[in-house]
Chain A
Amino acid sequence: MPDVIVLDAVSRVFPTDPPVRALRDIGLRVRRGDYVAIVGPSGSGKSTLLNTLGLLDRPTSGSYLLNGTETTVLGDGARTRLRGREIGFVYQSFHLLPHRTVAENVMLAEVYGGHPRRHRRRRALEALELVGMSHRVDFPPGRLSGGERQRVAIARALMGEPALLLCDEPTGNLDSGNTEAVLDLFDGLHAHGLTLLVITHEDEVSARAGRRVRISDGVLTEE
């Protein structure tokens, strides 16, 4: 089994005047089942790192192996397919479609990438059960609390069994009670062997991770 993430000498330079070096020669190895927190102040290159890891942005130089696949040489379409297959995203602002039910929002994860339509709703209900949201299946997201919305978003990310759960400030919009519930959920998923990578600036969140990596001015340091 290859490591989930292998970054080698990854740099990302934005061609502004003067050029911004958002990532400088970054190396990072995330093994299967790791629970990694990336911490850093705003402007440190966190978002660029997240976009790079999520295949939403290309590094200027270096190599990025996702689950054994070299991604820097892939075309747009192949990167999209790989992203849909291997990565589940969890965002600070949840990104749930307001006009669709909770179940439909979760099922959206299987609309692209050639998943079968059969039993899709059943798989969505299973994912919702995993995050403890079975009682809100046919609710519109607007009627859920922040914590509930984030759990629905996590259920969506878990559909299709991704190799990596990529979380961008997952508790940024949550109060302490809901934050606790989401972090407990992460602990449970980690215990089941899921690979988690959480980007945060909150110490409370990073403290729960097995491994903390700090990014500052585009340079990554293990803590």
Chain B
Amino acid sequence: MDIRDLWAEALAGVLARPVRSALTTLGTVLGITTLVITLGVAATAGNQIVGRFDELTATAITVEVPAGPGGPLVGWDSPAEVRRLRGVTSVSALAQTEESSNLRVTANDLVDPTRVTGQTLAVVAGDPELPRAARGRMVEGRFFDAGHVRRGDRVVVLGDQAARMLGVTRLTGAPAVFIEDRAYTVIGVLGGLGREQVLSTAVIVPPTTGVGLGLRNVTRVLVNTSLGAADLIARQAPVALSPNHHDELQVISPPTPKRARDGVQDDVNGLFPILGLVSLVVGAVGIANVTLVTVMERVSEIGLRRSLGAARRHIAAQFLLESTLIGMTGGVIGAGAGLVSVVAVSAAQRWTPVLDARLALAAPVAGALVGLLAGLYPALRAARMEPADALR
């Protein structure tokens, strides 16, 4: 039997009773629609939540270092220990105290009564890794390096806001700023900060230079991790920074996005997939039922086909294909209705609909599978009929 003939016979069989076929697809339509809505809305809602935990915050860890009673808990060389951890992309240590947060900084020592040249700015000590760890970039000039730190040079890097407030726009001619009436050379302007925004209004000095301004001890460590490593690093970093006092350090790490998403999906996924599966089973039973009735109605047709030379497998194949077609039609309609519903729900919630394209393709296949399974028994009944009995 030519496969095109089989196809044509099955199609004609389905279309011979269009209303019945349409009603038979309903169960599958409902089931597939429910499943597509469930999965689609879950994916959409899940991605809305996850959207808030963007890569920036999901990989940023801050370790706050309290002032220890017997000396510093974290030394300026401790970040190197954290940098060795797998999954860490950059680390930097900062020092900032109450006193250093409100220091008078001026761009020159002229007293100009018409202009306010002095600003109260925060002075922060940081190591040369700071631009990377704060995810900033040098707008002007350069950041200080290990050499500056070793020599204790009186150099500063200004945050971009601080530079604007002080009127430092370019670095030609090596401008200086005065912190508490002592001059420091400005060698760079740091801007575009991805985190630790407070630095944009700060004056950053090397740690060795900061000692003179009361910035002796590390008060904060910025750690950046690769995506997904934040959880692990948040546990490991305190130990690496201060093996003896790790429990005194305060770690601020991002919430785990996975848990947030799971929470949403649990709510949506609890009941609806079960409903969808139940409707699918009901749909399958419906198809099986109607196909069985159809087989009984078409006994003489089966007899005729057998007398025209149809083998049992031809009869079985035709009825299987008919029920599969009905199931697949239900799957296609259900997928369409489900997609439209997901988009409608998203529009109502002002969400961006997120749908797996594979879901749209899998739905008709699932429908066809339901139809195929539902058609097994009726097709077997049809194939088993004795042609002599069928023609009576």
A interface residues (Cβ-Cβ under 8 A, vs B): 47, 51, 54, 56-57, 76-77, 80-81, 83-85, 87, 89, 91, 93, 95, 97-100, 104, 108-109, 111-114, 117, 156
Contact = CB atoms under 8 A, between A and B. Distances in A.
B257 to A, nearest CB: 58
B306 interface: yes
A166 to B, nearest CB: 9
A80 B310 CA distance: 7
Nearest to A115: B2
B306 A80 contact: yes
B301 A112 contact: no
Contacts of B17: 99
A54 B387 CA distance: 10
Given A56-B391, A99-B12, A112 B312 contact: no
B388 interface: yes
Size bin of chain B's contact surface: 20 to 34
A54 B309 CA distance: 11
A117 B5 contact: yes
A54 B391 CA distance: 12
Contact of A93 (B300, B308, B310): B300
Which of B1, B305, B391 has most chain A Cβ within 10 Å? B391
A12 to B, nearest CB: 11
B231 interface: no
Contacts of B309: 80-81, 83-85, 112-113
B12 A100 contact: yes
A99 B300 contact: no
Contacts of B301: 95, 97
A109 B308 contact: yes
B120 interface: no
A95 B300 contact: yes
B16 interface: yes
B1 A95 contact: no
Interface in B273-310: 300-301, 303-310
Contact of B308 (A57, A98, A100, A112): A112
A83 to B, nearest CB: 6
Contacts of B16: 97-100
B216 interface: no
B314 A76 contact: no
A83 B307 contact: yes
Of all A-B residue pairs in the complex, the 3 with the closest CB atoms, nearest first, are A84-B309, A99-B16, A56-B388
Nearest to A99: B16
A57 B391 CA distance: 12
Contact of B305 (A81, A91, A100, A112): A112
15 contacts: A56-B306, A56-B387, A76-B311, A80-B309, A81-B311, A83-B307, A84-B309, A84-B310, A85-B309, A93-B300, A95-B300, A95-B391, A99-B15, A112-B310, A117-B5
Given A57-B388, A95-B391, A76 B307 contact: no
Interface string B211-230: 00000000000000000000
B316 to A, nearest CB: 13
A91 B391 contact: yes
B9 interface: yes
A212 B99 CA distance: 128
A112 B1 contact: yes
Nearest to A52: B388
Contacts of A99: 12, 15-17
A148 to B, nearest CB: 18
B4 interface: yes
Interface string B10-54: 001001110000000000000000000000000000000000000
B9 to A, nearest CB: 6
Which of B300, B308, B312, B391 has most chain A Cβ within 10 Å? B308
Given A93-B300, A95-B300, A51 B388 contact: yes
A120 to B, nearest CB: 9
A89 B307 contact: yes
Given A89-B308, A95-B300, A112-B1, 14 more contacts: A80-B309, A81-B311, A83-B309, A84-B310, A89-B304, A89-B307, A95-B304, A95-B391, A100-B12, A111-B310, A112-B308, A112-B309, A112-B310, A112-B314
A101 to B, nearest CB: 10
Nearest to B392: A47
A111 B12 contact: no
Contact of B303 (A87, A95, A98, A100): A95
B247 to A, nearest CB: 81
Nearest to B390: A56
Given A95-B300, A99-B16, A112 B311 contact: yes
B310 A56 contact: no
Nearest to A57: B388
Nearest to B306: A80
Contacts of A57: 388
Given A56-B387, A97-B301, A112-B314, A117 B4 contact: yes
Contact of A117 (B2, B306, B311, B314): B2
A222 B306 CA distance: 31
A87 B16 CA distance: 28
A19 to B, nearest CB: 18
